[in-house]
Amino acid sequence: MERASGLSNAPASTRRFHMGSSSAWLISKILAAQLSNAKRNLETVRERMREMPPDEVRQVREIIRPVHDKALDAENANLFTRGRLRRAAEKTAVERSALLKQAAPWLEDTRIPVTYGEVNTFSANADKTTMVHVLMPYERRIAELETRLAKAKESEAGNVRRGTEPEHNPVKNRKDFKAAFNVTLNKNLEKANTDPERKTPQTRR
């Protein structure tokens, strides 16, 4: 019993085209949905970061804060105590810089400065770099999906182009095959009957 599906009556090359085109289309749809979800996740994380800094940022700030406080004390101290407080800030900066290097390897420079103004600038830059670090996996995921989706669309377009190119005697189903066969047969019979050089086969004796 013949199946009702049109593809079941199509030749193997046509079936492969339809299957390949459908598969490429489905992959593109899945990747597009994944990309949309990835972008929403990134925006959600950004909104949360605007409301509250992520754990990594708070951890970096906690490491830097003792140096910041001691640098502020030295900044506001009189001439008699400023040197002592500055040395205390330097000692704390060395200790905290070593801790920061272990806790935040994504920071290129973990040497915490001593003066109050420099500590503030260092802390602000550390915040920005840490936020970039937190968002990087989400952005990398989006870039990966965009690349895969672009390749899938190229594959889908390639399948469509290959499937629409004219073929020699294209046959899509059995009815088309029979019709094409009858047309070719009639043309050959007509040519044979009208060919003046056609030789009549000799009858066997």
Contact 67, 93 (CB under 8 A): yes
Lookup result for tokens 């390897």: 105
* Per-residue model confidence as pLDDT tens digits over 7-23: 444 444 444 444 455 68
Helix (H) and strand (E) counts in the chain: 6, 0
* Per-residue model confidence as pLDDT tens digits over 168-202: 444 444 444 455 555 555 555 555 444 444 444 44
* Per-residue model confidence as pLDDT tens digits over 115-141: 999 999 999 999 999 999 999 999 999
Name the residue with higher pLDDT: 204 or 178.
178
Q: Token pair for residue 150?
A: 């672009």
The pTM of the full predicted model, rounded to 2 decimals, is 0.63
Query: Count of CB atoms within 10 A of residue 25's CB?
Result: 16
Helices 79-103, 55-76: crossing angle, 10 deg rounding: 170
